[in-house]
Structure 1
Amino acid sequence: MPIQLPINQLIPQPTYVPVVEDLIACLKSGLKDNLHSVYIYGSVANGNAIPNVSNLDVVLVTQRPLEAGQKSLFNSINWRFQKDFPFVKGLAVRTALVSEVASLAALFTWGFLLKQCCTNVYGEDLAECFGHYVPSWEIAKQWNMDIEQSAAILRREVALAEDAQSQLSAQRQLAKKLLRAAYGLVLHRTKRWLDDPLESGRAFLDYYPERQQTIERLGILLGQRVIPKRSVVGLLDDFAPWLEKEYQKTEFKIG
């Protein structure tokens, strides 16, 4: 197993170092020998997390499927975070088995996520199983061809938001998804990895300048101001079907 760097050398923002350390301690205690490795991605991994707004995004890899009691561990960790680290908006966990990740079928899904987007903070780094990734249409469509299903989920989260904070979180997630999906349409042209949603939107406009107003409005959703639900849903209902059609057109051209 490769030597694991100390957490404070992996997390750019010192405020989040104890958060990740506590997460690992809880997972080790709760999962024991079922725990294989832990990765973080998103704003905390990139060093641009916003206190009281950003989630801690985690990929958890286990040796065996999680049991019922082990699944409840995530609720316990969320509760701990609310008490000890209230500036962390929430814990968002993706789970996978070692056998699922370290396989050829996972090349453009788990392989891409771990290699390009994640920081390994505990255990064997499965990203080492995969070689260098070249920005391609294959990767873009793997992550964004489900835009119709994703839009339905995002729409529901906005509609069900009961307070300003939950609505702000929902509209930000919606904006991130749509901006990154938009950039996926041109990834094979730019051949650059971009994580920042706003930068992704600007790069998309180089090829689709007619959608400038949409991208500007999505940028507003990423801010700290709660936007009326009707406006958020209207933007989603306009842009998501357009994205879906563009992905289908591009798939037909490229294959």
Structure 2
Amino acid sequence: MKLPDLNRKICLFSVDQNEIVSTSTPLSTLIPQPEYIPVIEDLIACLTTGFRTNLHSVYVYGSVAQGRAIPNVSNLDVVVVTREPCKDSQSSLFNTINWRFQREFAFVRGLSIRTALVAEVASLEALFTWGFLLKQCCVNVMGDDLAECFGEYVPSWEIAKQWNMDIGQTALEHRQQVALANSQQEMLVSQRQMAKKLLRASYGLVMHKTRRWLDDPVACGQQFLTVYPERAQTIERLEILLGTRAIPKRSVVALVDEFGPWLAKEYQKLEFKIG
């Protein structure tokens, strides 16, 4: 497996700790759906005001970054990298931004923010976690792009298991979210999140064979079927969950109860076989 070029890692520690550097690329060329550009501009303005010099960089990933966002359904997924740990006042800023978005950008279903320190990202331990996420999944919308400090990644079992080896536990967590859904909207969000995770995890079982980077859940499921055609009915049902209609809770629970443990066992089998 080809690993990121560790000789380039030195640049991770040369990041200017005292100055916020805005990306020179216009958002209009980074974000495929123009209706989301004002949303991201507003987010950057709020983060810059709230974090000031502690803010290092901001990244967008998921459906908004890829141009697949569905208004009133899709979240805005964001990574915020800071120089120092967040203060209490800075942590509460995320709640304030969420409230602001509900009022100003109601078509954004929610704001999902992951946070990290520069020192966490700039570590060997982060090669297959933060390094992979920033390099392969994220679009840098503000600040120095830490993804540039990593070499190119090659689709591999090592990466697949890093992100999906805990699929058994993750499936249970998604099941719990589905079970606790108290409205059609909550059910829709929960079933979509569950379906996306299971479809992407299914592709992880075959990624080392296809040698392709895929993130679109439907494409992931279809590639999975090239190796596991007997699971066609399961993939078809998961694709239905990606729609805009809430599915009866008992059907969703039954699906994750069957497919989640199956995925977990397949990952264990492949780990024993490939190592």
* Alpha-carbon distance in structure 1 between the residues aligned to 2:68 and 2:207: 23
TM-score w.r.t. structure 1 length? Answer: 0.98
**3-state DSSP of counterpart to 1:86:** coil
* Alpha-carbon distance in structure 1 between the residues aligned to 2:120 and 2:154: 22
Residue equivalent to 2:158: 138
Residue equivalent to 2:91: 71
Residue equivalent to 1:198: 218
Asked if 1:5 is matched to 2:21, the reply is: no
Q: Contact between 1:4 and 1:123, CA under 8 Å: does it hold in 2?
A: no
**3-state DSSP of counterpart to 1:133:** coil
Aligned partner of 2:127 among 104, 107, 114: 107
Asked if 1:36 is matched to 2:65, the reply is: no
* Alpha-carbon distance in structure 1 between the residues aligned to 2:91 and 2:176: 24
Tell me the CA shift for residue 3 of structure 1: 5.0
Q: Contact between 2:78 and 2:113, CA under 8 Å: does it hold in 1?
A: yes
Q: Which amino acid aligns with 1:200?
A: C
Number of aligned residue pairs: give it.
Answer: 255
Asked if 1:82 is matched to 2:133, the reply is: no
Asked if 1:182 is matched to 2:233, the reply is: no
Q: Contact between 1:4 and 1:121, CA under 8 Å: does it hold in 2?
A: no
Deviations 1:94-125 (A, max 9, x none): 11110011111111111110000000000010
Q: Which amino acid aligns with 2:113?
A: V
Residue equivalent to 1:125: 145
* Alpha-carbon distance in structure 2 between the residues aligned to 1:79 and 1:3: 27
TM superposition outliers: structure 1 runs of 4+ over 4 Å: none
The 5-angstrom pairing of residues 42-57 of structure 1 reads: 42-57=62-77
Deviations 1:33-61 (A, max 9, x none): 11110000011100111000000000111
Q: Contact between 2:23 and 2:142, CA under 8 Å: does it hold in 1?
A: no
Tell me the CA shift for residue 7 of structure 1: 1.5
Aligned partner of 1:208 among 199, 204, 228: 228
TM-score w.r.t. structure 2 length? Answer: 0.91
Higher RCO (Cα < 8 Å, 6 or more apart)? 2
Q: Contact between 2:23 and 2:141, CA under 8 Å: does it hold in 1?
A: no
Tell me the CA shift for residue 230 of structure 1: 0.8
* Alpha-carbon distance in structure 1 between the residues aligned to 2:246 and 2:89: 37
The 5-angstrom pairing of residues 163-178 of structure 1 reads: 163-178=183-198
Q: Contact between 2:80 and 2:114, CA under 8 Å: does it hold in 1?
A: yes
* Alpha-carbon distance in structure 2 between the residues aligned to 1:229 and 1:67: 39
Deviations 1:65-89 (A, max 9, x none): 1122211111111111111100000
* Alpha-carbon distance in structure 1 between the residues aligned to 2:78 and 2:226: 32
Tell me the CA shift for residue 207 of structure 1: 0.2
Q: Which amino acid aligns with 2:63?
A: S
* Alpha-carbon distance in structure 2 between the residues aligned to 1:71 and 1:159: 29
**3-state DSSP of counterpart to 2:199:** helix
Gapped runs of 5+ residues in structure 1?
A: none
Residue equivalent to 2:15: none
Tell me the CA shift for residue 159 of structure 1: 1.1
Tell me the CA shift for residue 144 of structure 1: 0.3
* Alpha-carbon distance in structure 1 between the residues aligned to 2:84 and 2:108: 29
Tell me the CA shift for residue 4 of structure 1: 2.0
Gapped runs of 5+ residues in structure 2?
A: 1-20
Q: Contact between 2:60 and 2:79, CA under 8 Å: does it hold in 1?
A: yes
Asked if 1:238 is matched to 2:247, the reply is: no
Q: Contact between 2:23 and 2:143, CA under 8 Å: does it hold in 1?
A: no
